A and B are shown apart, each in its own frame.
Chain A
């Protein structure tokens, strides 16, 4: 994998993850929150749960997904260096 491909793959990954980041916080926690409040999760209204709990769990998962995905990408670019 060339440095350019590595950077492109990284940018693609970033856009996907940041899109999810936006949807779970600004989307579910704020803009769509009142709409989601008609559903419930145990004793929580769903929009309220996303605003005060769910978004935070989502953030943690997103970072670890990125850590693992980048770990694989880094391996690819390092293997390439060794082949040379």
Chain B
């Protein structure tokens, strides 16, 4: 059977499963739509949280990124897992005890202010849409490479599937589909990783194989990788390239940002008891760690495989995957020294950030590119880092069904995260903006109707992002985490652990964090992107890590302003006392 047919079968089967679950778990009340009736088993919620959390970026892009970053890749590994400790210890149980539906709900009630609620809604919508755009691009990549349909049609199919279970099922539908999606995703990630680990080191556990010796040799894999990297002019794989302060700040911004992401927090509103919220965060991290500890192993294996299978091979005899990915423009080769061999090394192969194909064919049969070659290095290969995980099974020559599985897994990762995000967007519109602010008179049925409408509109907008991807998607990821860390996280933490913090303090803090972080990122990423280098950064902190500074500014401003203004009302103190108890 051809690999494309297999992929069609795997992907269709998984979609039928998701839609079936959606029909089985329809939501009939706002309580079910927003928080799945608060009846989700903590283990199931842990799985759903893991699927919600692990996006197209985690599944498709992360191992590829690490594979090119080496040790610096740890910022993502630690940053995107360490936040769960903060969630379990500092936020989830208390917010579950508070017992409302959304994150702005807590901020609005704790700081007795519609303004605070609106600031939170704005941050939430911005963060969530930023994130959705990335998921839709992931859906597009998988469809165009594996099913050879137009990216647009792929995005539309994805929209229809998400529409089904998010609009019909709300949080209840999403939760149970996410459980299924987690299973598909983790199976699809582990199977090729185990295969490749056995092929390279003989050890079936990738987490251990990664530190093991190569098959039939006494050299350690990582030693070999350091050697290969240095030979090609890169830094040693197990050494940092970024400065310690930058690594520190990026990791911190990602951790605190994770703990402040609304679509993650809201998952802990769905369990029956406060203690379940803690347990559920633990289970979620176990399920996440399964993928996150495998990813660096995949990164190292694929780096070795990638280098060994193309370096100094003639283009004519280069492996199929090289030409397949070249066909969709994510790999390009320019024979700078005219020897017909693929020479891969450190440095940019040619001008511009991506290849511009002329439509013609070069002397070896490669797709001709119009970019001017850069002559101070010998690198001839352009490769988009996003393809490493998807191309990995092909590079390692695994059977066709493994590739089909990976395609289904990538879609599961993208769709599960998109659905979770769309849900928090729709509930913050129908619940926080309409019910609690502008249309307090609507009854529950009307609210549910508006919730469904806003979910539908959000899906349409997300789809448009997928079809016309904004060029700035990569830059704005820093935004999402930076804003979550510098606005939502401090407001939640202080709301629980300080009774003195008042409305003025919280709003001033959120605004200060927002303006500082957004200003810094816009300055370096949009206005003066040619200045974006460590020489010009404040204390050597990159825009990716600046959310950590923004968070500290938020804390300082919030506490100072509070101490100079009136105490919050007594009811607020009583509410805080109540949420602190189990």
Contact = CB atoms under 8 A, between A and B. Distances in A.
B251 A60 contact: no
Contact of B293 (A26, A37, A56): A56
A29 B289 CA distance: 16
A75 to B, nearest CB: 10
A17 B210 CA distance: 29
Contacts of B577: 3
Interface string B290-322: 001100100000000000000000000000000
A63 B580 contact: no
Contact of B78 (A55, A64, A67): A55
Interface stretch (B69-77, B357-365, B412-420, B555-563): B69-77
Given A26-B248, A51-B77, A53-B207, A43 B282 contact: no
A57 B289 CA distance: 8
A66 B282 CA distance: 9
Contacts of A3: 577, 580-581
A56 B220 contact: no
Contacts of A33: 71, 240
A12 B120 CA distance: 30
Contacts, number: 123
Interface string B398-442: 000000000000000000000000000000000000000000000
Given A37-B238, A60-B286, A53 B293 contact: yes
B132 interface: no
Contacts of A66: 88-89, 278
Nearest to A73: B582
A51 B78 contact: yes
A55 B251 CA distance: 12
A71 to B, nearest CB: 7
Contacts of A74: 275, 582
Given A42-B211, A43-B212, A56-B293, A30 B247 contact: yes
Interface string B261-289: 00000000000000100110110011001
A30 B244 contact: yes
A21 B83 CA distance: 10
Interface in B61-94: 66, 71, 73-74, 77-78, 81-82, 84-85, 88-90, 93
Interface in B328-368: none
| Chain A CB within 10 A, most for which of B73, B82, B285 | B82
B582 A77 contact: yes
A5 to B, nearest CB: 12
Given A7-B580, A21-B82, A57 B278 contact: no
Contact of B71 (A26, A48, A77): A48
Interface in A1-40: 3, 6-7, 10, 14, 17-18, 21, 25-26, 29-31, 33-34, 37
Contacts of A64: 282
B221 interface: yes
Interface in A43-84: 43-45, 48-49, 51-53, 55-57, 59-60, 62-64, 66-67, 70-71, 74, 77-78
B200 to A, nearest CB: 12
Given A18-B89, A48-B71, A43 B81 contact: no
Contact of A55 (B66, B82, B207, B211): B82
Contacts of A53: 207, 293, 296
A56 B78 contact: yes
A21 B240 CA distance: 21
B223 interface: yes
Contacts of B281: 63
A42 B203 CA distance: 13
Given A14-B90, A52-B73, A63-B85, 10 more contacts: A18-B85, A26-B251, A26-B252, A31-B248, A45-B238, A53-B293, A53-B296, A55-B77, A63-B89, A67-B88
13 contacts: A6-B581, A21-B85, A25-B255, A26-B251, A42-B212, A43-B213, A52-B73, A53-B207, A53-B293, A53-B296, A55-B77, A63-B282, A71-B275
* In the complex, the 8 A-B pairs of residues with the closest C-beta atoms, listed nearest first: A43-B220, A51-B74, A43-B211, A63-B282, A52-B296, A44-B211, A42-B211, A74-B582
Interface of A: 3, 6-7, 10, 14, 17-18, 21, 25-26, 29-31, 33-34, 37, 41-45, 48-49, 51-53, 55-57, 59-60, 62-64, 66-67, 70-71, 74, 77-78
